[in-house]
Structure 1
Amino acid sequence: MISLLSAAAASAASPPAYLQFLPLVAMAVIFYFLILRPQMKRQKEHQQRLSGLQKGDQVVTAGGIVAKIVRLDDHYVDLELAPGVRVKAVRSTLGDVVPQGSAAAND
């Protein structure tokens, strides 16, 4: 009886080795399409917005401050928060450009 069970176990073929890695590959593909690809797309759009900045644009900083660009540099921007109130900010911390017709731009 034991020899019969061991013969049956020996005759059962083990699955190919690539089937063991198939779940890992599937998880990597899902991770890429659900997380990495959208993040890279957002980062590319942000870089395009930063490269298209001009003097006079209304921007929102990462801290939520709405200001007008007074001067641009490769790494820094001078922002005017109110008439006569200027601050210097790192260009990469600018979050978004405020459309000219919005309520925040009119304040």
Structure 2
Amino acid sequence: MDQIMSIAPLILLVVVFYFLLIRPQRKRQQEAIQMQNSLTPGTRVMTTTGLFGTVTAIDNEDVILEIAPNIETRWVKAAIGRVVTPGEPVADEKADEADTADHDGGQGNKS
């Protein structure tokens, strides 16, 4: 009985570690793979490095992104970080809004 009580904290630590770290990470990884496999041409995406582009073609494990008019680059599907929804402001717009708020005392007025 003494031996079981001495290893019980270790077992409890492993169980807590699993539920707080391993399980959520595995779930996020599965969601990312599902998102990458559901990409279709015309989808606006952001890569893991922060590059925005539009999917123009999918070739096995590669995705061809149009990053500017008539400029296409080839990426691996795993490099796609997230899908950008049409109503969502891009990072530059968020930074501009924050700068505007800082310069006019937080009022948001453009004079």
TM range (shorter): 0.7 to 0.9
Residue in structure 2 matched with residue 24 of structure 1 by the alignment: 10
The residue identity in structure 2 corresponding to 1:65 is L
**Aligned counterpart, 1:103:** 89
**Is 2:70 the counterpart of 1:87?**
no
3-state SS of 1:103 partner: coil
Q: How many residues align?
A: 91
Q: CA RMSD in A?
A: 1.4
Runs of 4+ in 1 over 4 A off after TM superposition: none
CA distance in 2, matches of 1:21, 1:33: 19
Q: CA deviation at 1:101?
A: 2.4
Deviation string 1:43-73 (CA, Å, 9 cap, x unpaired) is 1111111111100000000100000001102
Where 1:72 maps in the other structure, the secondary structure is strand
Structure 1 or 2, whichever has the larger Rg, is: 1
> What is the deviation of 1:76?
0.5
* 1:38 correspondence with 2:24: yes
Distance between the aligned counterparts of 1:17 and 1:103, measured in 2? 58
Q: How far 1:19 moved relative to its partner?
A: 1.1
Q: Percent identity?
A: 34
TM score, norm. by length of structure 1: 0.79
TM-score w.r.t. structure 2 length?
Answer: 0.77
CA separation in 2, counterparts of 1:34 and 1:74?
34
CA distance in 2, matches of 1:103, 1:35: 31
1:24 alignment partner, SS class: helix
Q: For structure 1, which runs of at least 5 residues remain unmatched after alignment? A: 1-14
Offset at residue 102 of structure 1 (A): 2.5
Equivalent runs, 1:59-74 vs 2, <5 Å: 59-74=45-60
